[in-house]
Amino acid sequence: MIDEFGEAYSEVIASDLALTEHSDKSGSQLINEGADPRDVWLAICRQTGVPKERWHGINKTKSKK
């Protein structure tokens, strides 16, 4: 989530966004209840309009030293 939304906004989304496909529970509530974090992330992606190509993270290349 931090890669997509930044650190501060990720915390807001996790605690305050009511996920309609999960009875309006927040991502934090769902994870605390034992939901798979990946399923929660995908629900957040769908609800917030994250493009599908970024649902599995941003490709990062390793720096060569």
Domain segments of the chain: what residues?
A: 2-54
pLDDT in tens, the chain (65 residues): 999 999 999 999 999 999 999 999 999 999 999 999 999 999 999 999 999 999 987 766 555 55
pLDDT of 62 reads 56
pLDDT of 58 reads 73
Global confidence as pTM: 0.84
Cα–Cα distance measured from residue 63 to residue 60, given in angstroms and rounded to the nearest whole number: 9
**DSSP of 3-60, one letter per residue?**
HHH-HHHHHHHHHH--BGGGTTB-HHHHHHTT--HHHHHHHHHHHHT--GGGTT----
